[in-house]
Chain A
Amino acid sequence: MTDLEIVSRLPQDERVLLMPLVRTTKTFWRWAAVMAAISLWGLFAYAYQLRNGLGATGLNTPEYWGIYIICFVFFIGISHAGTLISAILRVANAEWRRSITRSAEFITVLVIGFGAIQPVLDLGRPDRVLNVMLHSQPFSPLLWDVMSIGLYFTASSVYLYVPMIPDLARIRDLGLRPRLLYWFLAIGYHDTPAARHTLERLISVLAVAVIPIAVSVHTVIGWIFALTLRPMWHSAIFGPYFVIGAIFSGIAALIIAMAILRRVYRLEAYFKDIHFNHMGLLLLVMSILWFYFTFAEHLTVWYGGEEAELATLYSKLYGAFWFPFWLMFATCFVIPFGLMARAKTRNVPGTVIASVAVVIGMWLERFNIVVPTSLHPRGEVAIAHYWPSWVELSIMAGTFAGFVLVYMIATKFFPIVSIWEIKEGREKSIEEVTERVSEYLPDDLEAVAL
């Protein structure tokens, strides 16, 4: 029996959710080829940069940081999709999480790597990157970053893997190929009530542990900027501001991923309209928070009225950077708020449009943080400008494509919706939720002996 036949005979949940593992369409190959080509082009651009040094970029004095650092903050931000959202929903016992957690966790784990390489791409001497370990200087926020991202990657990988074990065991038992991979990854798990109990205990511990780690990651990234004396970087709000920005872009990325998965793998029954509605509500809350933080930040700068700070601020409001600034405002607040505040537009197309806007807007936000401040140093230097070179743009495109490619490949080896959690939802949750709700209700006074 081929794998396809095995899967075709399974009951609905397993059949639908395992189908992508055994059947690959032409469209998939076509997209994979496109993504692979773009990634290879990005690799070529990096090889060019290695040969020619950072002179191949558009960076200069005082624009020391550019696209790579923007993408670094951006990608690590996206990675907060998964773990943080899925962990919060799990801890909060939100039942609607069941079908979306896995896809979110995959985003996290796969995008961290692409984020973490960005600062390395940005190094003048990538050959000396190990000096960070050999000659660590504990007061450098960059070192804290290396540590927190390392920890985050480890924790979120474990947090992706552990809840996947029952599914992997099931695939192993079905005998799908590559057998060795599933046999190895299932680490001899057998789905007994005792094993399941241990597993769930472990998952709930991990879910709690991963939240502070994720928060620390983007806080420290904010501190990279905030701990310098630069105008509009030196801000106490940056830690939390970066964290909410990260969650904001993470939710948007997850909505886009869900919409695509739902379409290409026919998962309408799993990623339902209600999921998009709920995610849309989260997006709404985050866009309001984003507005609040952004407003607070800019008001403080303006009111303080310090010369160097104002020069940077005005360049954003109506100077050289008015366009990226106001575009960011539209895409991070006006569009998502306008669409998500109305129940009618909180449907699949509505949430997807809002999410695409947010993803673009959050990239622009990082641009608006990095570039205007860089170009407005306190000292007088020749007025410079920053135009990213083809090398930087190619590497950025390659990184995006590389992420999409590995995500596509991941959906071919692992069920992108947790099968056992869906089953558990069908079998146990309805009862549990009824029980839970009845617990909240006021007691019947007559039945309770006073």
Chain B
Amino acid sequence: MPRWGMVIDLDKCNGCQACEVACRSENNIAVGGPQAAGESRTISWMRVQTEVEGEWPNLRARFVPQPCMHCDRPPCTLVCPVQATSRDSEGIISQIYARCIGCRYCANACPYTVKYFNWRRPSYPGSTVAGLNPDVSLRPVGVIEKCTFCHHRLQKARDVARAEKRPLREADYVPACSESCPTGAIVFGDLDDPDHRVAQLARDPRAFRLHEDLGTQPKVYYLAEQD
């Protein structure tokens, strides 16, 4: 059984936000526009956080792309009263949009603030409608959504592999963010398969995870910058 995970090399990330854009169009994320931004209600499953350190002129910017960490011990699933969010057997934290009652308890329980609520009916400007991804369902108003590691791509890749009567290969399943990253900072794969690059990188001495001390056991690793 694979255990899907991600390694993000902070040395390679240059803050271009291609992953954010790729995620948006891959996952049909609604366009909130300036209104949502002003109200702090923007949805962005992948978010490139900028951290500035030091004092001028010795500044140092650091970019930390943050998707859902797909915790192995997720605090968000335990609190959901209707099991609309849960960890599947391969470690992906799923959301059932049709069941969620919109209590936002999971959003409060997530220490990474990566669960997004649909405060308003999601809107898609006319020009974007033709580009919507038919593999990803649109969310209704009033439910929580978040990064799914592009789970639909896994399903597709499995189907293809099955049709071709061969096992799933590392390159078959790659989320949109990883695929679009021009510097190759985002590596994705099976953390338990020693042949996968993520499994090797996750053991790199530079590897760390966000808020490791909380015991959430995230499956998104970062590689610290080298000076």
- Note all chain A residues with C-beta closer than 8 A to B209: none
Q: At the interface, is chain A mostly helix, strand, loop or mixed?
A: loop
CA distance A382 to B116 in the complex (A): 14
Interface string of B70-101 (1 = CB under 8 A from A): 00000100111111100000000000000111
Q: Provide the residues of chain A in CB contact with B142, threshold 8 Å.
A: 53-54, 123-125
A374 close to B79 (CB less than 8 A): no
With both chains docked as a complex, state the minimum distance between the C-beta of B222 and any C-beta of chain A, in angstroms: 13
Closest CB in chain A relative to B41 CB, distance in Å: 5
- Please determine whether B108 and A379 come into contact, CB atoms closer than 8 angstroms: no
Q: How far is the CB of B39 from chain A (nearest CB, A)?
A: 6
Q: Is the CB of A124 within 8 A of B81?
A: no
Beta-carbon contacts of A221-250 to B below 8 Å, as 1s and 0s? 000100111100000000000000000000
Q: How many chain A residues have a CB neighbour from B under 8 Å?
A: 45
Asked if residues A378 and B112 are in contact (CB atoms below 8 Å), the reply is yes
* Set B39, B51, B103: member contacting A380, Cβ < 8 A: B51
B119 within 8 A of A: yes
**What CA separation (Å) do A119 and B102 show in the bound complex?**
10
From 34 to 65 in chain B, residues with beta carbon under 8 angstroms from any chain A beta carbon are: 39-42, 49, 51
Instruction: Let me know if A142 is at the binding interface, CB within 8 A.
Output: yes
Inter-chain CA distance A424–B46, complex, in Å, is 70
Whether A65 contacts B108 in the complex (CB less than 8 A), given A60-B41, A380-B51, comes out as: yes
Interface residue? B208 (CB, 8 A): no
A374-B108 contact in complex given A54-B142, A59-B119, A61-B40, C-beta closer than 8 Å: yes
From known contacts A60-B39, A125-B143, A229-B111, infer whether A142 and B81 are also in contact, taking CB-CB under 8 Å: yes
Say yes or no: A229-B75 contact (C-beta < 8 A), given A125-B101, A128-B101, A129-B101: yes
* Bound-state Cα–Cα, A384 to B143, Å: 21
The interface residues of chain B lying within 8 Å CB-to-CB of A132 are: 81-82, 101
Which residues in window 353-375 of A have CB below 8 A to B?
A: 374
Q: Which residues of A contact B141 (CB under 8 A)?
A: 53, 55, 124
B118 to chain A, nearest CB (A): 7
A440 contacts the other chain (Cβ, under 8 Å)?
no
Contact with A along B188-221 (1 / 0, CB 8 A): 0000000000000000000000110010100000
CB pair B108 A64 closer than 8 Å: yes
Residues of chain A in range 33-89 having any CB-CB distance to chain B below 8 Å: 52-55, 57, 59-65
Interface: A303 (CB within 8 A): no
Q: Are A62's CB and B102's CB within 8 A?
A: no
In this complex, what residue of B is CB-closest to A144? B81
Q: Does A140 contact B (CB under 8 A)?
A: yes
**A224 nearest in chain B by CB position:** B105
Interface string of B177-189 (1 = CB under 8 A from A): 0000000000000
Question: What residues of A have a CB within 8 angstroms of the CB of B140 in the complex?
Answer: 125
Q: CB of B113 within 8 A of chain A?
A: yes
Binary B-proximity of A193-229 (CB < 8 A = 1, otherwise 0): 0000000000000000000000000000000100111
A175 at the interface (CB under 8 A from B): no
In the complex, whether B28 has a CB less than 8 A from a CB of chain A is: no
| Minimum CB–CB distance for B48 against chain A, Å | 11
A229 to B216: give the CA distance in the assembly, Å: 10
What are 23 contact pairs spanning A and B, CB under 8 A?
Answer: A60-B119, A61-B113, A65-B108, A122-B103, A124-B117, A125-B102, A128-B100, A129-B101, A135-B82, A137-B80, A140-B82, A142-B105, A228-B108, A229-B75, A229-B109, A230-B108, A378-B111, A378-B214, A379-B49, A379-B112, A379-B113, A380-B49, A384-B40
List the interface of chain B (C-beta within 8 A of A): 39-42, 49, 51, 66, 75, 78-84, 99-105, 107-109, 111-114, 116-121, 140-144, 210-211, 214, 216
Q: 14 other contacts beyond A53-B119, A129-B101, A139-B79, with CB at 8 A cut-off?
A: A55-B41, A60-B41, A61-B116, A63-B40, A124-B100, A124-B103, A125-B101, A125-B140, A131-B82, A131-B101, A135-B82, A137-B82, A137-B83, A142-B103
